Amino acid sequence: MPLITNTTYAGPSVLFNGHLQTIFPALFRKHLSLPFDRERITTPDGDFLDLDWLRQDSKKLVIICHGLEGDSRRPYMQGMAKHFFQNKYDVLAWNFRGCSGELNIRPFFYHSGATYDLETVINHAEDKYEQIYLIGFSLGGNLTLKYLGELLPKSPKIKKSVAISVPLHLKSSCNKISSGENLIYSNRFLKTLKEKVQKKALMFPDDLSTAELHKIKTLREFDDKFTGPMHGFRDASHYYDQCSSLYFLEGITIPTLILNAKNDPFLSEKCFPVDKAHALENVYMEFPEIGGHVGFSPRKRKEIYWSENRAFEFIDSDD
C-alpha cells in the first residue's frame, strides 16, 4: 500500500518538540472515569489476564493493547476506548501479565512478542462479535503487528488494525531510548521493571536471581539479563530479532495502519520503513512530522486527540 503523505496532524504550538509532545499528555492528560467492567480469565498455562470491558451490545469490538509498563487505565488507553465506545463499538482494553495492579503467578511477565496472550484474549471474546478490530500502542503496537503477521490461523472476524508509535525494530529503538537525553524515559521504565523482578524473585527464588539487578543501567541490559532469558530467548539480541514486528509486516492480510511520528524520541530510523511501503499489500504507513511518542495532542485541550480520530476514521471506513 502507498505511504500516506497527506497527513493532517498539527499539534499545539506550545509543544514545540518531540519530548514535550511525549511528556505533556503522559503527565497532564485528564484521567477519565469510564465504567469499565473487569473480568479475569485464565491463560492456557495457568496464569491470568485482567480484561477491562465497555459493553453496549454492539456487534463490533475494538481490542486495545497498551505500551511498556502501561495498563488499561492509562489516559491514552481510556481516550481511545471512550472515542470508540461513544461511536457504538464495544471495547476491550486488556492488561499484560503483571500490569493490572497484581503480579501474575508464573515466573515470567510479558514482552514485545508475546502474541500468545493476545490470541487468548481474542479467542475469549470473538464468539460474541461479528467484527473485531485491533489497536496497539508502542510495545502493544509491535505485539499487534507481529500477531497479525505470524503464519498462524486467525479469526476471520478480525477486520482491521491500527498500530501507534510502534518500535518496529526493537534493537535500534532500544539503543535510542537508552542513550543521551532519552535516558529520562528508559530510567522510568527500568525503575518499575526492576521492582517487578524483585517481587517475582521472592515468589520464585529458584528461578530468578536479583544478584546483578543493581548493575543494570539500560533497557538493553535488562532485556539481556531478564526479559530475554525469562521468556525463552538467549539474550537481548535474540529477543529483538525474533520479536521485531518489522520482520512480520509481509504476512499481514488485513488493512492495517502504522502511525509513527517522525520526531518520536523512542523510535529509530528503522521504524520508518518507507522503502517497504509500496511492496506491502495490506499495510498503510503514515508518518507525521510531529506528534511525539503516544502523543498527538489536540490544539485545544477539550478536543479529541488526533490519533483517536485517525484510528476511528481508518477502522470505521468502508475501504
Average per-residue pLDDT for the chain: 96
Q: Three-state DSSP class for 260?
A: coil
How many domains does the structure of the chain reveal?
Answer: 2
Task: Specify whether 85 is located in the same domain as 187.
Answer: no
Task: Specify whether 151 is located in the same domain as 52.
Answer: yes
Residue 167 confidence (pLDDT): 98
264 is known as an active-site residue = yes
293 is known as an active-site residue = yes
Task: Specify whether 223 is located in the same domain as 175.
Answer: yes
Angstrom distance (rounded) from CA 307 to CA 76: 10
Query: Considering 19, 66, 111, 293, which one is annotated as catalytic?
Result: 293
Residue 276 confidence (pLDDT): 86
Task: Specify whether 91 is located in the same domain as 145.
Answer: yes
Dump pLDDT digits (tens) for 34-86. Answer: 999 999 999 999 999 999 999 999 999 999 999 999 999 999 999 999 999 99
Average pLDDT estimate for 271-275: 95
Q: What angle do CA 316, 4, 142 make, to 5 degrees?
A: 70
Residue 2 confidence (pLDDT): 74
Query: Considering 138, 186, 245, 268, which one is annotated as catalytic?
Result: 138
Q: Exposed/middle/buried for 254, CB within 10 Å: 0-12, 13-18, 19+?
A: middle
Contact 304, 22 (CB under 8 A): no
Task: Specify whether 93 is located in the same domain as 219.
Answer: no
Residue 31 confidence (pLDDT): 83
Task: Specify whether 73 is located in the same domain as 197.
Answer: no
Which of 89-93, 125-129, 175-179 shows the lowest per-residue confidence on average (mean pLDDT)? Answer: 175-179
Query: Considering 264, 268, 297, 307, which one is annotated as catalytic?
Result: 264
Q: Does residue 318 register a pLDDT over 90? A: no
Q: Where in the sequence is the domain holding 51, given as residue range(s)?
A: 3-169+246-316
Task: Specify whether 147 is located in the same domain as 182.
Answer: no
Task: Specify whether 53 is located in the same domain as 194.
Answer: no
Enter the pTM of the model.
0.97
